[in-house]
Chain A
Amino acid sequence: MINAFSLSSTIKHGVLILGALIVLVPFYMMVSYSFKSPGEIERNTGGFFGSQELMVDERCVKLQDPNKDEVIALRSRFPGLGDDGVRKAFMAEVERDCSMIPVVFNYSKAFSQAPLLRYLINGVIVTVSIFLIQIIVALPAAFALSKLRFLGRETVFNIVILGLLIPVHAIALPLYIMLAKVGLVNTYAALIVPWTISVFGIFLMRQFFMTVPDDLIDAARMDGMSEYAIVWRVMLPTAIPALLAFAIFSVVAHWNDYFWPRIVITGDRSLFTPPLGLREFKGDADGSFYGPMMATATIIVTPLIVAFLIAQKRFIEGITLTGMK
């Protein structure tokens, strides 16, 4: 075992650590930028956290710059000053109100500049709906393909295998035309419908159901359960581990999906999913908004990363499910 600490092992760790650093740099920079002031971002100063010196939000100040009428209205608050004096005194006050430390500025701007909370809620609505519908469609189908005897089972299963070949992104254009024809573009339905059928889900659950003993099902039939009741009350509980893995697979894919939302959501911000929101932010951003943009990116990336760190094994299992094909 002395060899384990030999030169070769040191070199291996060296290479692995170098790789890990390259993998981590963008995450480090993203979080770091989300803490810093525009000046620090541009000059690359301030280390990881930035100096967190109070900064003035120029836009906030500009918005409150009083016009002539407002100055007149303000006279009573600053007695004994000329109009110019009133304005200056007021602006000094505004500047004080508009200053904050960069980290607060970035994260509050991320939520106030665009309806980020709305985007996040949309993301949850879309991913959860997709997963639930996928399960409702796939479980009975998988049950039929694994546990029921009927003419044509092989044929249907072969169709499922064939369906695995078709990446939904590749047929996005005709799907978009179909949705446009029925007037569904720019709706939640457009975000959800194309993903309601997961051929992979059917395939996966079928493989899993094959391992469930027939006795269990026969016993349930003896008790007078209907076939549907068997799916939901007997098969579903046994399938929890596989289901969880599939849930992770599905949620990660659709939370991060950018291509499909980009195509079917055109302009209606209230339907944006998190990646669309971030992309929109990038489109509007001028130099001073890099901080808030990185804060938005951090907020979008964090939920999955945190979930992954908590339940690593399950996540790796879920994401690599495709390896079972």
Chain B
Amino acid sequence: MTKALNHQRQTRSAWIMLSPALILMMVILILPIMIAFGLSFTNYGLGVKSVDFVGLENYERIFTRSTFKKMFTATVLYVIIVVPFSVGLGLGAALLIQSVQRGREFYKTIYFLPVMASLLAMAIVWEFMLHPTIGVLNETLQGGCDSTVIHGLLTGSWYGADPLTSWYGDKCANGFPLWLGDRDYALWTICFIGIWQSFGFNMVLYLAGLTSVPKDLYHAAEMDGASSAWERFRLITWPMLGPTTVFVVTITVIRSFQVFDTVEAIFPDSGGPGKTAYVMMFAIYEKGIKQNLLGTGAAITVIFLMFVIAVTLIQRWFIDRKTHYA
């Protein structure tokens, strides 16, 4: 076979082999984005006869109405609460696990369990545990109030403080929060479930990152006088984990933006007490699917995509900057 013929044959096979993937990408990934963009300027609804071009009305509504203000607040708060905790706990767990001699596999397995479990199922279990009257959490907390040791320790009354000034003492006297039913606690509780579910994933990524830190760097640092564990972490581990951290933060941010299961399972009608957990994916679902306001839903989708793309571009920029002087 001549070289030219071979080349021709390869080109033809390549395009045949790529065509299903390319067609599907166009139809499933690119076309929907264009549709969302187009519809976001209309008042389209499924089954609705007349479709009008409404200009920027949908966007204007999203940026002015209080419902959507709540949506942005809930989403942004969720992300900025979950990301540092989830990443921090993931790193903390990885460092601790790496520093112990025994039981590494054991801890790793347990911390990874929530990543495997259906978040919807676990959200329902958490909701039940957090039930204000029959849930185990409040019952356990209440039980601690009657024990002088626990009460004394947690309220500080042992050190002569007034128990009522502490959170625990106050709640012992006046009743524990409703958690998911209380607008001051609902979003935090949802965040807690998100952190509980996701930090094991970050832990595994950090453990992988840690194995690639060369051991002799630590010896070298010790020679140079970096003797404390903190110094070694600050001078070697943390900088060496840079790329891992950039990646872990990005993926946690993108996933946190997409939170839906917990909110829908626990607050199916409202998005939380006072809409405090009215996150973007839930808003898209509620406006677009439940209320058939596809124009509005499409506009939220466009804004959402911009968030996600911005985050990824920031990640790329970080990585590029790192590789330049590496």
Separation of A136 and B108 alpha carbons in the complex (Å): 34
Separation of A51 and B107 alpha carbons in the complex (Å): 31
Contact B301 A174 (CB under 8 A): yes
Separation of A26 and B129 alpha carbons in the complex (Å): 8
Contact B13 A227 (CB under 8 A): yes
Q: Is the interface of B mostly helix, strand, loop or mixed?
A: helix
Separation of A228 and B28 alpha carbons in the complex (Å): 25
Q: Is the interface of A mostly helix, strand, loop or mixed?
A: helix
B223 in the interface (beta carbon within 8 A): no
Q: Which residue of A lies closest to B140 (CB)?
A: A44
Separation of A4 and B101 alpha carbons in the complex (Å): 7
Contact B107 A320 (CB under 8 A): no
B303-320: contact bitstring with A at CB < 8 Å (1 yes, 0 no)? Answer: 011001100100000000
Residues of B within 8 A of A304 (CB): 116-118
Stretch of B92-100, B147-155, B158-166, B168-176 at the chain-chain interface: B92-100
Q: Which residue of A lies closest to B34 (CB)?
A: A174
How many residue pairs, one in A and one in B, have C-beta atoms under 8 Å apart? 257
A144 in the interface (beta carbon within 8 A): yes
Contact B20 A151 (CB under 8 A): no
Contact B111 A20 (CB under 8 A): yes
A185-209: contact bitstring with B at CB < 8 Å (1 yes, 0 no)? Answer: 0000000011011010010000000
Within 8 A of B (CB), among A1-52: 4, 9, 12-13, 15-16, 19-20, 22-27, 29-30, 33, 41-44
Residues of B within 8 A of A194 (CB): 28
Q: What's the nearest-Cβ distance from chain A to residue B125, in Å?
A: 5
Give the size category of B's interface with A: 35 or more
Q: Which residue of A lies closest to B261 (CB)?
A: A258
Contact A177 B39 (CB under 8 A): yes
Which has the most chain B C-beta neighbours within 10 Å: A169, A316, A320?
A316
Q: What's the nearest-Cβ distance from chain B to residue A174, in Å?
A: 4
Contact A19 B251 (CB under 8 A): no
Residues of A within 8 A of B128 (CB): 29, 33, 290, 294
Contact of A169 among B22, B89, B117, B258 (CB under 8 A): B258
Contact A308 B17 (CB under 8 A): no
Cβ-closest 6 pairs across A and B? A140-B17, A174-B32, A197-B24, A141-B21, A227-B13, A150-B11
In addition to A150-B10, A173-B298, A319-B112, 19 A-B residue pairs with Cβ atoms within 8 Å of each other are A23-B113, A23-B196, A30-B125, A151-B11, A163-B29, A165-B308, A166-B305, A170-B305, A171-B32, A176-B289, A177-B35, A177-B39, A252-B116, A258-B119, A274-B118, A278-B118, A297-B118, A316-B108, A316-B204
A-B contact pairs, 30 of them (CB 8 A): A12-B100, A13-B103, A19-B93, A23-B113, A138-B21, A144-B17, A145-B18, A148-B17, A150-B11, A150-B15, A153-B14, A156-B18, A170-B258, A173-B36, A173-B298, A174-B301, A175-B28, A175-B32, A177-B39, A178-B31, A180-B46, A227-B13, A258-B264, A279-B264, A282-B265, A312-B105, A312-B112, A316-B112, A319-B115, A320-B208
